[in-house]
């Protein structure tokens, strides 16, 4: 129970609620949620991990198009009726997001392995050696 009236100068519990977080510290990018991503490049593969708390496996879509890997996901807000009280503050994030990575032409979609465990999506993307460009002299007749 708070003895300080809400909205007063001494209401420290809600003092910082109206300040905006600078964009570099925000979890939003252009109105969309941005998951925390880790990308590792090894000699023979890429490893991408994405934190997706609250997202169901069926709401995650990964595509590879012309060497660009796109990760799309959506988390839904649960609509439930509160019988024993009301929600005073809610800091969970809901929404749709998309991230894209240009991996180049040395990856194939059929080789990508995706695993989703405890809210973390892990993609293992093997790299293939491209044949070196060849050159040959063309005779002119």
Name the class of domain 27-77+94-126. Answer: mainly beta
What is the pLDDT, as a whole number, of residue 138? 86
Q: Report the candidate in 58, 94, 97, 56 with the shortest Cα–Cα distance to residue 76.
A: 94
Question: How far apart are alpha carbons 94 and 3 in whole angstroms?
Answer: 33
First to last CA, the chain: 95
pLDDT in tens, 56-73: 899 999 999 988 999 999
Q: Where are the alpha helices (DSSP H) in the chain?
A: none
Instruction: Indicate whether 41 pLDDT > 70.
Output: yes
In the block, residue with structure tokens 């001494």 = 10
Domain boundaries along the sequence of the chain: 27-77+94-126
Rounded to an integer, the average pLDDT of 19-40 is 59
What is the pLDDT, as a whole number, of residue 136? 85
What is the pLDDT, as a whole number, of residue 104? 84
What is the pLDDT, as a whole number, of residue 21? 45
What is the pLDDT, as a whole number, of residue 135? 84
Query: Binning pLDDT at 50, 70 and 90, where does residue 6 land?
Result: low
DSSP state of 5: P
pLDDT in tens, 72-126: 998 776 655 566 777 777 666 677 888 898 988 888 888 899 999 999 999 999 9
């Amino acid at each position: 129970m708070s003895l300080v009236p809400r909205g007063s100068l001494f209401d420290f519990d809600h003092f910082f609620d109206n300040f905006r977080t600078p964009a570099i510290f925000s979890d939003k990018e252009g109105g969309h949620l941005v998951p925390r991503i880790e990308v590792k490049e090894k000699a023979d593969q890429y490893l991408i991990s994405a934190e997706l708390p609250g997202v169901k496996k069926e709401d995650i879509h990964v595509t590879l198009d012309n060497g660009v890997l796109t990760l799309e996901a959506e988390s839904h807000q649960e609509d439930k009726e509160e019988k024993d009280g009301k929600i005073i503050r809610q800091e969970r994030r809901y929404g749709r997001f998309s991230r894209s990575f240009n991996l180049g032409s040395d990856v194939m979609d059929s080789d990508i392995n995706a695993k989703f465990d405890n809210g973390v999506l892990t993609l293992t993307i093997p790299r293939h050696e491209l044949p070196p460009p060849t050159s040959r002299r063309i005779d002119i007749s």
